[in-house]
Amino acid sequence: MKRIKKFRGFIFGFALAATAFCFIQAKNADSYFEISKNLDIYTTLFKELNTYYVDPIEPGKLVKSSIDAMLDGLDPYTTYITESDIEEFEFQTTGKYGGIGANMREKDGRIFVSEVYEYSPAYKAGLHPGDEVLVIDNQVLKGKNVDDIGVLLKGSAGTNISMKIKDAYTGIESTKTFKREEIELAPVPYFGLTGKNKDVAYVHLAQFLPNVASMIKKDLDSLKKLQPNLKGVVLDLRNNPGGLLNEAVSICNLFLDKGQLVVNTKGKVPELSEEMHTTQQPWDLKIPVTVLVNQYSASASEVVAGTLQDLDRAVIIGVRSYGKGLVQVTHPLGYNARLKVTIAKYYTPSGRCIQVKDYSNRNADGTVSNIPDSLKKEYKTANGRKVLSGGGVEPEVNVPNEDISQLVITLYNKNYFFDYTTQYVKEHKTIAPAGSFTLTDNDFNAFSKWLENKDYSYKSYTEIVLDSLKQIAIREKNYDAAKTEFASLQAKISHDKKQDLTKHKAEVMRFLEGEIVTRYYYMRGRVENSLKTDDDVKKALEILDQPTQYQALLSPKK
Distance CA 512, CA 248 (A): 34
The CA-atom distances, in angstroms, between 117 and each of 105, 114, 123, 405, 409 are 15, 10, 7, 29, 25
Catalytic residue among 297, 299, 301, 530: 299
Cβ–Cβ < 8 Å for 203, 236? yes
* Helix, coil or strand: residue 558: coil
**CB proximity list for 162: less than 8 A, separation 6 or greater:** 135, 136, 137, 138, 175, 176, 177, 178
Would residue 310 show up in a list of annotated catalytic residues for this protein? yes
Would residue 366 be called left, alpha or beta, if left means φ above 0 and alpha means ψ between -120 and 50 degrees?
A: left
Number of helical H runs and strand E runs in the chain = 17, 21
What amino acid occupies position 134? L
What amino acid occupies position 523? M
List Cβ<8 Å contacts ≥24 apart for 100-108.
100/125, 100/127, 100/153, 100/161, 100/178, 100/180, 100/181, 100/183, 101/181, 101/183, 102/127, 102/153, 104/133, 104/146, 104/149, 104/150, 104/153, 105/146, 105/415, 105/418, 106/145, 106/146, 107/415
* Helix, coil or strand: residue 167: coil
Residue 79 phi, psi dihedral angles, 5° rounding: -135, 155
**CB proximity list for 169: less than 8 A, separation 6 or greater:** 128, 130, 422, 425, 426
Catalytic residue among 324, 350, 357, 536: 324
Distance CA 146, CA 342 (A): 31
Catalytic residue among 75, 131, 236, 310: 310
Would residue 449 show up in a list of annotated catalytic residues for this protein? no
Cβ–Cβ < 8 Å for 393, 352? no
Active site positions, annotated: 299, 310, 324
